[in-house]
Amino acid sequence: MSSLHVGRDRHGTAIEDDCACVKADCGLVDGGKVHPGCDQHPYQLAKTLRQIHHADKCPELTDGAWAALLLETLDPVIAYMEATDEEDWQIDTVRSADGTTNCFFGHLFSMGGTDARGNALWDLFESSWASTYRLYPINDGTSSSYPQPTPKQRILAFLKDLNTGSVLTTPQQMEEDYNHWLAEENRSAGVHTI
């Protein structure tokens, strides 16, 4: 669950403006980052909070920032995919012509709720976790590493492995491949590294 953005006044941020707590883009205090010396926002003080919203529902949150909050771990993606029905999955294309079935990326896009957030989620997932080139073979059943009988089961197995670090993210894999290539180049050139 995301943290809360909280404010003491019904309107505006006068109290928050004079506070040492970390503020969100909306001007309210990030409830997960209350300053230890604050006498206004700690929940244990039980002072009335008149403005409250979840960080992932902040009106000032950009689509990219929303996607970044959601993809800090893969837990929300795994939960969303687990909640989809088996018959809503397909292979070979992202989304069926009638929009009733999707591959993983179609479901991920739908998770965004809007085109802008769906695009942000897809883009960030590919750049931070795993690219379409890694996911399509798993979704479509052509990856021997994930032999589960359905696209949903294969994708969930991969996402869980990715989330626990059992498999590398695409950026990690690229870094590992580059270091391997560099070591081979140096070996071929007779360069010795320590």
| Measured CA distances, 94 to 83, 138, 145 (Å) | 18, 13, 21
Which residue type occupies 87?
E
pTM of the model: 0.72
| pLDDT tens profile 78-125 | 999 999 999 999 998 898 899 899 999 999 999 999 999 999 999 999
With a CB cutoff of 8 Å and minimum separation 6, the contacts of 57 are 2
| pLDDT tens profile 124-164 | 999 999 999 999 999 999 999 999 999 999 999 999 999 99
* Per-residue pLDDT at 1 exceeds 60: no
